[in-house]
């Protein structure tokens, strides 16, 4: 049996102008049966937070490759978790997160402690990522649209 579809809010961070990472993830998630709302590059924290409150995604996926993802991510997840409505939503961050290659275990731990549920380096196993998405609690999207 296939896992039920999830609503995914996909976004980069405020400093990051790269877009092919987002296009790739959008296709990967859509081809896996999920519904993707791709906010694109250079997204201010407030815009992601307000979109998430308005659309109630099952999962938020942050993708960033310019090397500032660690710093931007720490700030962004603080803004997300400050909202009562977004305390429980699973949030993953992935890509090229630091300016010196792979993150240290300590940096990865800092991202998790700050509120991310998963951290995926750019060479992460995509099956692990899709499993993370499939594990998110889902409501029945079809039923929501017919209600």
Q: How far is the CB of 27 from ligand B12 (least distance, A)?
A: 10
Alpha-carbon span 41 to 16, nearest angstrom: 6
List of residues contacting ligand B12 (CB under 6 A): 15-21, 24-25, 61, 63, 65-67, 92, 94-96, 99, 120, 122, 124, 129
| Closest chain position to ligand B12 (CB) | 94
The residue among 20 and 105 lying less far from ligand B12, judged by its C-beta, is 20
The residue among 83 and 128 lying less far from ligand B12, judged by its C-beta, is 128
Q: How far is the CB of 123 from ligand B12 (least distance, A)?
A: 7
């Amino acid at each position: 049996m296939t896992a039920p579809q999830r609503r995914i809010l996909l976004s980069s961070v405020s400093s990051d102008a790269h877009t092919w990472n987002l296009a790739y993830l959008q296709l990967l998630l859509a081809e896996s049966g999920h519904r993707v709302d791709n906010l694109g590059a250079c997204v201010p924290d407030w815009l992601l937070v307000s979109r998430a409150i308005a659309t109630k995604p099952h999962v938020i996926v942050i993708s960033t490759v310019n090397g500032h993802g660690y710093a931007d991510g720490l700030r962004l997840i603080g803004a997300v978790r400050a909202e009562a409505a977004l305390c429980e939503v699973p949030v993953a961050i992935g890509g090229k997160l630091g300016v010196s290659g792979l993150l240290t275990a300590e940096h990865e731990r800092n991202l998790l402690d700050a509120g991310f549920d998963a951290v995926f380096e750019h060479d992460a196993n995509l099956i692990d990522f899709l499993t993370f998405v499939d594990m998110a609690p889902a409501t029945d999207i079809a039923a929501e649209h017919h209600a």
